[in-house]
């Protein structure tokens, strides 16, 4: 009987590990964690005498990422940290006041505090690329405009924890916006000051993104910069309704039942238009193409963007006759280059600037050179 119990115990430990290995070998293992919002370690591709140590390390990382019930155990531990110590299990998520959560990764915390800096040479390189993109587009009769989307932390700084103090009021995005306005002829839309009116909620409490009200406001700023007719948000109907918690709750594995979240519904904007989505290739990488019958503006707009354009789409696609949006790493540059739009919008979120802006502008300069 004792031997049988030992055998059962060994099998209990071994079978999950065996199953993990089988999943890896057959390519059926998950590659992206919704809970952690990151790519999971892939199964090592091959083993040789030369890479034996590296293979062992990769296999260990793979097993750690794909262990049975891993997400449930991580969530349980995170729940204990939150309820017992009012803390998160990741330094990337900041617990704010009144149920607000904030992102600290990708220099977001430093940018909130106004720390760090970029060199004059870096700013010159960005400006030179902006001018190069603009020159290529101007030669084809296409207008170029930039939308800089601010991080949530500065917009709702009153909900940041007291230990997160602002050192310099002017942060790196403020400096970049000023520099591009002074060093290029390209319009730069930076809607930071527009969000000072707190009679509306512009960003989600538990997510990194602005909501549909914030997207509407940013869209109106774009329309104004393009010489269009602006609709004040007081002229549309904005209501807030409960919705599920956002990416910051998932990122920190926090118990969703302890947080509330709302969706901003914006109704009554250009109801006479007939909006059609021509193509939607899915969440990632995503291409979304819209046409709008009876739109006030007949122009065709292409937006090279990240996820912050999602909340802008409803506004832009109703105002302009055609709006095509391209995810920044969709690999669809050739398709985008076939377009002959009237306007190209480059939208980028503050926290992505260090890792993306130079490459993005280089890509755009090659597409429309």
What confidence score (pLDDT) does residue 25 get? 47
Summarised one tens digit per residue, pLDDT across range 344-360 is 999 999 999 999 999 99
Summarised one tens digit per residue, pLDDT across range 114-161 is 999 999 999 999 999 999 999 999 999 999 999 999 999 999 999 999
What confidence score (pLDDT) does residue 62 get? 73
CA 290 to centroid of chain Cα atoms: 21
What confidence score (pLDDT) does residue 31 get? 62
Band of pLDDT at residue 72, cut at 50, 70 and 90 = low
Summarised one tens digit per residue, pLDDT across range 257-295 is 999 999 999 999 999 999 898 877 776 668 899 999 999
Tokens of 187: 């319009």
CB 107 within 8 A of CB 354: yes
Q: Which residues contact 223 (CB under 8 A, 6 or more apart)?
A: 229, 230, 297, 315, 316, 319
CB 215 within 8 A of CB 312: yes
Distance CA 159, CA 156 (A): 6
Provide the percentage of residues in the chain whose pLDDT is more than 90: 69
Average pLDDT for 25-41: 58
DSSP 255-307: -GGG---EEEEEE-SSTT-EEEEEEE--SSS-EEEEEEET-SEEEEEEEEE-G
What confidence score (pLDDT) does residue 8 get? 46
DSSP symbol at 205: S
Band of pLDDT at residue 209, cut at 50, 70 and 90 = very high
Give me Rg for the CA atoms of the chain.
24
CB 352 within 8 A of CB 107: no
Band of pLDDT at residue 340, cut at 50, 70 and 90 = very high
Average pLDDT for 233-240: 98
E-strand stretches of the chain:
32-33, 38-39, 93-95, 101-103, 143-149, 188-189, 237-242, 262-267, 274-280, 287-293, 297-305, 320-327, 343-349
CB 288 within 8 A of CB 277: yes
CB 15 within 8 A of CB 23: no
pTM to 2 decimal places: 0.83
Band of pLDDT at residue 19, cut at 50, 70 and 90 = very low
Band of pLDDT at residue 93, cut at 50, 70 and 90 = very high
């Amino acid at each position: 009987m004792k031997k049988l119990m030992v055998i059962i115990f060994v099998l209990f430990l071994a079978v999950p590990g065996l199953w993990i290995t089988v999943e890896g070998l057959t390519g059926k293992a998950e590659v992206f964690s919704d809970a952690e919002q990151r790519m999971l370690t892939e199964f090592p591709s091959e083993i040789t005498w030369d890479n034996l140590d590296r293979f062992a390390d990769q296999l260990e990382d793979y097993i750690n990422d794909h262990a049975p019930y891993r997400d449930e155990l991580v969530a349980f531990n995170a729940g204990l940290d939150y309820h017992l110590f009012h803390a998160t299990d990741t330094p990337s998520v900041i617990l704010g006041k009144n149920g607000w959560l904030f992102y600290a990764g990708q220099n977001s915390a430093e940018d909130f505090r106004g720390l760090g800096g970029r060199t004059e040479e870096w700013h010159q390189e960005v400006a030179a690329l902006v001018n190069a993109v603009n020159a290529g587009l101007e030669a084809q009769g296409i207008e170029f405009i930039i939308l800089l989307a601010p991080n949530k932390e500065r917009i709702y700084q009153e909900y940041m924890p007291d230990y997160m103090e602002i050192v310099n009021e002017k942060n790196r995005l403020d400096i970049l916006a000023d520099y591009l306005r002074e060093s290029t002829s390209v319009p730069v839309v930076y809607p930071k000051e527009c969000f000072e009116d707190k009679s509306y909620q512009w960003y989600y409490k538990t997510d990194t993104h602005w909501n549909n009200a914030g997207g509407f406001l940013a869209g109106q700023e774009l329309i104004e910069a393009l010489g269009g007719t602006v609709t004040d948000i007081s002229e549309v109907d904005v209501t807030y309704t409960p919705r599920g918690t956002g990416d910051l709750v998932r990122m920190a594995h926090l118990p969703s039942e302890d947080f509330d979240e709302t969706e901003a519904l914006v109704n009554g904007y250009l109801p006479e238009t007939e909006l059609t989505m021509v193509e939607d290739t899915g969440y990632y990488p995503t291409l979304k193409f819209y046409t709008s019958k009876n739109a006030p503006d007949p122009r065709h707009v292409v937006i090279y963007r990240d996820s912050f354009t999602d909340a802008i789409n409803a506004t832009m696609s109703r105002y302009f006759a055609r709006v095509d949006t391209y995810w920044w790493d969709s690999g669809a540059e050739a398709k985008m280059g076939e377009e002959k739009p009237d306007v190209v919008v480059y939208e980028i979120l503050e926290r992505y600037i260090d890792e993306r802006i130079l490459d993005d502008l280089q890509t755009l300069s090659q597409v429309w050179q």
